[in-house]
Structures are given as C-alpha cells and as structure tokens.
Amino acid sequence: MNKLLASIVLATVILSVAKMTCAACPITVKTALSRVPGVTEVSVSLERKQATVVFDDTKTTVSALTRATTDAGYPSTPVKDAGK
C-alpha cells in the first residue's frame, strides 16, 4: 500500500526586536512566538535584539509572528527571511 506523505515547508525569519532591554525580555518574546501555531523553533538574542524563528509557512505567516511579539509588548520587524 502506497502512502502519500505531506511535505512540511519550513521557513526561517529573523525579527528585529528593538525594545528588549533586560534579561526577562527574551523569555517573554520567545514565549509569545512559541505559542503561534506552526512555530517549530525560536531563539532570541538580547545582545543582538533579534529573534530567529523557524515555522511552517502553511500554518502561519511573518505577519502573525510580528503581531505576537507586538501583542506581548515587543514590536518587531523582519530583517531577513531566509526561508523564502
């Protein structure tokens, strides 16, 4: 019996998160991004003021990711979309 496997399309985006100023900020940003459906990996750097997000682009968008950080109090903008 042949099984058809759906391919998962993963994309990576780097978000600039300028308002991160303390050690708790990256935790809040990472939590907000991790809760977005389709996100598979998040890393946040306070030093660079950036978040790198790997996500399934059939389930979410860069706009949804920036909205999640903004809703958490940390507006973000994409600086590099490596997955597209």
- As a three-state string, the secondary structure of 40-79 is EEEEEECCCCEEEEEEECCCCCHHHHHHHHHHCCCCCEEE
Q: Give me the pLDDT at residue 26, please.
A: 98
**Chain-wide mean pLDDT for the chain?**
90
- For the entire predicted model, the pTM comes to 0.85
Lowest mean pLDDT among 4-8, 45-49, 67-71: 4-8
Beta bridge partners of 10: 56
Query: Distance between CA 66 and CA 77 in Å, rounded?
Result: 6
